[in-house]
Amino acid sequence: MFRGICFLAAVGGVWESVAVKAYEEVAEFIAKRGPREVAEFKPSAETKQRVGELLGREKTTGLTSEERRELDHYEDLELLMNLAKARARQLLAHGQ
């Protein structure tokens, strides 16, 4: 659905950025609230459709600055949820 994990998460597991650490803290908080629900979370059909539209437009006609910001926000949310899901899966694997 999304383009994949953003460059912050592609650093080979080395989390040097303070901003990334902040994402990890929020992901940890989310994951501990309901690990199973977090691990199983899927975006709504409406969200998937909108992201698909933006990605398609990005490849064909290009995005307006507002659409670019919107897509960037979706990518930030994807990163956060990927981190939360990974942490939730760890918690579930360790029986927490």
The three-state DSSP-derived secondary structure of 28-53 is HHHHHHCHHHHHHCCCCHHHHHHHHH
Spatial contact of 84 and 38, defined as CB atoms under 8 Å apart: yes
The pair of structure tokens assigned to 88 is: 């939730």
Number of domains in the chain: 1
Digitized pLDDT (tens) for each residue of the chain, 96 residues in all? 444 444 444 444 444 466 677 778 888 888 888 899 999 989 889 999 999 999 999 999 999 999 999 999 899 889 889 989 999 999 999 986
In a domain, 47, yes or no: yes
In a domain, 42, yes or no: yes
Task: Give φ, ψ of 5 to 5 degrees.
Answer: -70, 140
In a domain, 3, yes or no: no
**Which structural domain, as residue segments, surrounds residue 21?**
16-93
pTM of this prediction exceeds 0.95: no
In a domain, 9, yes or no: no
